[in-house]
Amino acid sequence: MQHEAPSRRSQPEQLRVLLIDDHEVSRAACQALLRTEGINVVADLPVGEDALAAAVELHPDAAILDVTPNDEHALQLARRLGSLRRPPTVVLTSSASRTVLDTKLDGLPFIAKSDLCSSEILTAIRRYQDTGSL
């Protein structure tokens, strides 16, 4: 588990991202790519209370959260992140298709896991940096 304390941004447009995925290798790969693209990954954690606490403490702009169709804990975490006083933009990702998850997504942005650390997620994050929405 890695945390970085909130810091004064030298570049106001730099996006602060919290990665939440139960697979450490996936988090590490995505974190490495995002950082090479200038994205500030403030923490990478498995699904759970520590991830919620990190969101409260670190105030990320966005949280990328891996979910599975039968994992109510991750879906509940997504809802709890969205209800924080200063909620991050929550982006869900999964190896399951949008069709399988559709009724559980609650309207949250979704990116297929195969695209999580690809140009699609980077494009979405850059769009967020430019427009404030994904």
Give SS3 for 19.
strand
pLDDT at 11: 45
The model's pLDDT over 55-76, given as tens digits with 9 standing for 90+, comes to: 999 999 889 888 887 888 988 9
Q: How many domains does the chain have?
A: 1
pLDDT at 46: 95
How far apart, in whole angstroms, are the C-alpha atoms of residue 81 and residue 96? 21
The model's pLDDT over 6-53, given as tens digits with 9 standing for 90+, comes to: 443 344 467 899 999 998 998 998 899 888 878 899 999 999 999 999
Q: Phi/psi at 93 (nearest 5 deg)?
A: -140, 150
- The CATH number of whichever domain residue 111 belongs to comes to 3.40.50.2300
Cβ count near 17 (within 10 Å): 26
Q: Phi/psi at 86 (nearest 5 deg)?
A: -120, 75
> Residue 56: inside a domain, yes or no?
yes
Domain around 88:
14-131
Top pLDDT among 100 and 4 is at: 100
> Residue 53: inside a domain, yes or no?
yes
Residue 81 CB-density burial (10 A; 0-12 exposed, 13-18 middle, 19+ buried)? buried
* Residue 3 in this model has a pLDDT that exceeds 70: no
Residue 83 CB-density burial (10 A; 0-12 exposed, 13-18 middle, 19+ buried)? exposed
pLDDT at 117: 61
> Residue 45: inside a domain, yes or no?
yes
pLDDT band at 129; cut points 50, 70, 90: low
How far apart, in whole angstroms, are the C-alpha atoms of residue 65 and residue 7? 23
pLDDT at 68: 81
pLDDT at 58: 97
Top pLDDT among 131 and 6 is at: 131
> Residue 125: inside a domain, yes or no?
yes
